[in-house]
Chain A
Amino acid sequence: MDINEYISSGILELYVYGSLTDEESREVTSVLNQFPEVRTEVEEIEEVLRDLSATIAPGNAENLIHAIKRKLGNSSKTIVMETRKTNNLPMYIGWAASILFLMGLFFMFNKNQELRGELQALQGEKAQMESQIADARSDADKTKELLSVIRDKDIIKVPLAGQAVAPDAYATAYWDKATNTAYIDVKDLPEPPRGMVYQVWSLKLEPLTPTSIGILDKYEEDENKIFALDNTNLSEAFGITLEPAGGSKSPTMEQLYALGVVSS
């Protein structure tokens, strides 16, 4: 190694500044331990830098030594306390963290239970809503069907006027000859007493021959009180009587509620 070249490279100044890496500094140290001229060079660089920085100092540092020495005794105590603090801190943090974690777990568990309950309630509500929608849809379908029947020009509308037992009552029969169906609207008949049902008759007038076309035993369940009944007869009139539950073979004429003739 050319020592003069090494010295003049400027590496020794950087060494004193402390701007070399650890590895580079160790190398320089081993060189100056081998070559006294390198050591002398480093000592001179250090001396000029100490002189330069001492010149910049804003005052005399000499008197501060007493203040510092007083603090030296205390500082060892402070350091013990500090290390104790830093040793305990992670432990406290650890405990605090695990307590928070447990609290968190309980909170999450409760929350979970709560949400489960809510979910079940919502599922129940949903099922209810679904069945309501299905009902509404089937009602709507039925209404649509009835509406189309009533509007159909091929349907024969037969008003059935209230009779002696119920003068204010009336009913209507819509007779579709094409499908052999009679739709009986009994919305304006009084509600049948318990144990009794309305029975619908197709009548031939000459001679008077009644034929039962149906018993309105679903009266209470049906919302719009319109019943579709099969009617294959060549009806000349329709009548409605009140009969004991299950219906009768022939109409009880004293309990004739409504009667109307098919206009031809």
Chain B
Amino acid sequence: MQQDKLIEELQSGNEKAFSRIYELYSQSTYGIIFGIIKDAAISEEILQDVFIKIWNNASSYNPEKGRFFTWVLNIARNASIDKIRSKDFKNKKLNLKSDIFVDILESKSNFFGSIDAIGLQKYIDILGPTCRKLIDLLFFQGFTQKETSEELQMPLGTVKTKNRVCIDKLRAKVL
């Protein structure tokens, strides 16, 4: 209920509510953007744009359609995917088909000193390759259940149940 009130305040243009929302969601949003973009500096720019959009378009969030987190997630994904498709990004040629978790962990020694390597290793250990791929497509890339089933050549129902198992694993060990 507290969360609902906070969002209502944000929607009425309360800057303090915005600050609180930022505290709650900025770090995970940053991670989602980075999971798609894989470039810290560009991810930072996009993160700023995403929160400006959250401020400007807060009134368009409708709780009946889903979680506020899901709404933020969608904005972040769309902004990141737009960036990836833009001309200036294409030169960077990033391999978007690879396993993002392993990718990020391996790249951290080169670029990202501040990445939570221990935390990330924890996730990699818990999740097998299939779970990592499922979470990458469904959560980070925003694939639908059908698109994921086609991409991984996995029956539609299996995508849903297998993903449930993956998330359960995380909850059991992490929370």
Shortest beta-carbon contacts, A-B, top 7: A10-B164, A53-B31, A56-B31, A10-B160, A57-B31, A57-B30, A61-B26
Interface of B (DSSP majority class): helix
- Chain B contacts for A96, CB-based, 8 A: none
* Of A14-22, A85-93, A118-126, the one with at least 4 CB within 8 A of chain B: A14-22
Give Cα A51 to B145, complex, Å.
23
A35-47 Cβ-contact flags toward B at 8 Å (1 or 0): 0000000101111
Give Cα A22 to B144, complex, Å.
12
Closest Cβ of chain B to A80, distance in Å, is: 11
Give Cα A26 to B122, complex, Å.
34
Is there a chain B Cβ closer than 8 Å to A49's Cβ? yes
Closest Cβ of chain A to B165, distance in Å, is: 8
Give Cα A16 to B31, complex, Å.
16
Give Cα A40 to B51, complex, Å.
27
B92-114 Cβ-contact flags toward A at 8 Å (1 or 0): 00000000110010000001101
The chain A residue with its CB closest to the CB of B135 is: A52
- Chain B contacts for A116, CB-based, 8 A: none
B139 touches A17 (CB 8 A): yes
* Of A62-70, A163-171, A222-230, A240-248, the one with at least 4 CB within 8 A of chain B: A62-70
The count of chain B contact residues (Cβ–Cβ below 8 Å) is: 64
Closest Cβ of chain B to A111, distance in Å, is: 40
Interface of A (DSSP majority class): helix
Give Cα A48 to B74, complex, Å.
17
B16-55 Cβ-contact flags toward A at 8 Å (1 or 0): 0011001101111111101100001001100110011001
Is there a chain B Cβ closer than 8 Å to A59's Cβ? yes
Give Cα A19 to B70, complex, Å.
9
Q: Knowing A52-B31, A55-B120 touch, does A79 contact B56 (C-beta < 8 A)?
A: yes
B interface residues (Cβ-Cβ under 8 A, vs A): 15, 18-19, 22-23, 25-32, 34-35, 40, 43-44, 47-48, 51-52, 55-56, 63-67, 69-71, 73-74, 100-101, 104, 111-112, 114-116, 119-120, 122-123, 135, 138-140, 142-145, 148, 160-161, 163-164, 167, 170-171, 174-175
Cross-chain contact of A18 among B74, B101, B119, B167 (Cβ < 8 A): B74
A interface residues (Cβ-Cβ under 8 A, vs B): 8-11, 13-19, 22, 25-26, 28-30, 42, 44-62, 64-65, 67-69, 71-72, 75-76, 79
B56 touches A75 (CB 8 A): yes
- 20 A-B pairs besides A11-B160, A54-B28, A64-B48 with CB distance below 8 A are A13-B164, A13-B167, A14-B163, A17-B138, A18-B70, A25-B66, A26-B65, A47-B175, A48-B175, A51-B175, A53-B32, A53-B139, A56-B31, A56-B34, A58-B114, A59-B115, A61-B29, A68-B51, A69-B19, A75-B56
Give Cα A13 to B163, complex, Å.
8
- Chain A contacts for B28, CB-based, 8 A: 49-54, 57
- Chain B contacts for A30, CB-based, 8 A: 64
B55 touches A57 (CB 8 A): no
Cross-chain contact of A29 among B22, B43, B66, B145 (Cβ < 8 A): B66
- Chain A contacts for B65, CB-based, 8 A: 22, 25-26, 29
